[in-house]
Amino acid sequence: MEVLKILDKPDTIDWEYDEEADVLYLSVGTPKPAVGVDIGEGVVVRYDEVNNEVVGLTVLGLRERVIKEIAESSD
């Protein structure tokens, strides 16, 4: 089984938040094409098949999650 690189200390982490869609895109280093794998709970891991390394994460429903967690923690 090949080893999958998970986040070698990158020089940069780039991010973009789509407020309308409520989606956070995180890229390790410069954003590049990748394969997305849904790992559940609204999180998609993006990885580069050629270099066999994780190159980003996509978090769906971020605003909704934060609001829910804040409400639950204040109970």
Query: Residue 64, SS3?
Result: helix
35: which strand partners? Answer: 47
Average pLDDT over residues 8-35: 88
* Eight-state DSSP code of residue 50: T
pLDDT at 60 over 90: yes
Q: List beta partners, residue 55.
A: none
Q: What percent of the chain has pLDDT over 90?
A: 56
Q: Higher-confidence residue: 67 or 5? A: 67
pLDDT tens for each residue of 27-59: 988 888 899 999 999 999 999 999 888 999 999
- Pick the residue with more confidence: 50 or 1? 50
